[in-house]
Amino acid sequence: MGMITVKNGAKIRKGAGSSIREMSPDDPIYKMGWFVGEITSKNFSSKAREEIPEAVGNKKAPDDKSGHPDYYNSHPNFVKFSDGFWKEFKQTQRKSVKSSLIFHIPHASRMISNIYLDQFLLSYRELYDEHLRLVDRYADELFEPSGYPSVISPASRFLCDVERFADDEVEPMAKIGMGAIYCNTTDGRPLRRPLIKEERDHLLQMYHRENERRMKLNLEEAQRSNGFALIVDCHTFPSIPLPCDTDQVTPRPDICIGTDEDQTSPEVIELVTGYFTGLGYSVSMNAPYAGTYIPGGF
Ligand SMILES: [Zn+2]
């Protein structure tokens, strides 16, 4: 249920010492629009807490002599729904879903956690330059996914490219060392030391499968709510081709629309193409980049 906005950074989570209570649509948490399943109170402000009568009543543990006001910060509160509530929540949710538009932004992040830096053979400066070349800069701002279900990969594509096939045998870019786990830079230099199987599997699990899992959750939710889903796979690209690009044709169009023969509807192509050409942009289909992202199993 990643599509639900969780306000104030609060999440709802089951934890040790949890209390269980029923929740009705009159409940303050419900009115505030928190999705439930679980609440972690780490960022759960005391003001918000006080608006929840049950929380106030439970603020101190029986054996808590400290009177510490952040009792809830270390003891998450588990909220359990009644069947009736769950049904009503689902209905409300269906009404509130603006559309079945889902944004997928796989390449905007430049984040590589320190614990993985030893895998890279480049200096910090060189890695920075590679990011400038290959990261889809501003994709997360340009497409303005706020308010819609969206899946934004948190890690740099240099750590794990969630849009390439995890299996090198079927990923065409793996032939130049740029499958889901890159071995080479955009100009063919060694990027990474050889990884052992466990390291590669760990990255694929942490980022690739997690990205796909989140997409599937959103897709299933959209399909349950509206009977269909439309994924907008959001990228940006440089005006001059990179050495690793298959298509070296210049000048490049302002907008490239990648489609899938079976999955992209002609109406959507017409709508999007017409919209951008109407604004005066040059638009091309599947060039310089062909295809679109489809999560496995769809
Ligand atoms: Zn991209």
CATH 3.40.630.40 residue ranges in the chain? Answer: 101-285
* Separation of CA 234 and ligand 1 centre (Å): 7
Mean pLDDT in order along the chain per 10 residues (298 residues): 28 31 41 32 35 40 43 38 63 57 90 93 91 86 77 94 95 94 93 97 96 92 81 87 86 89 85 86 90 81
78 pairs with which residues across the strands?
Answer: 20
> Which residue, 23, 67, 13, 3, is CA-closest to 44?
13
- Residues 71, 32: contact at Cβ < 8 Å? no
The owner of tokens 């910090």 is 124
Q: Structure pTM?
A: 0.66
* Separation of CA 272 and ligand 1 centre (Å): 19
In the chain, which ranges are E strands? 11-12, 20-21, 39-40, 78-79, 101-105, 150-152, 230-233, 255-257, 283-285
* Separation of CA 258 and ligand 1 centre (Å): 11
* Separation of CA 21 and ligand 1 centre (Å): 45
SS3 category, 7: helix
User: What is the CATH architecture assignment of 101-285?
Assistant: 3-Layer(aba) Sandwich (3.40)
State the amino acid at position 17 in one-letter form.
G
Tokens of 288: 């310089």
Q: Return the pLDDT at 38.
A: 28
* Separation of CA 280 and ligand 1 centre (Å): 23
* Separation of CA 107 and ligand 1 centre (Å): 5
* Separation of CA 211 and ligand 1 centre (Å): 14
State how far the Cα of 112 lies from the Cα of 157, in Å rounded to an integer: 9
Q: Give the β-pairing of 150-152 and 78-79.
A: unpaired
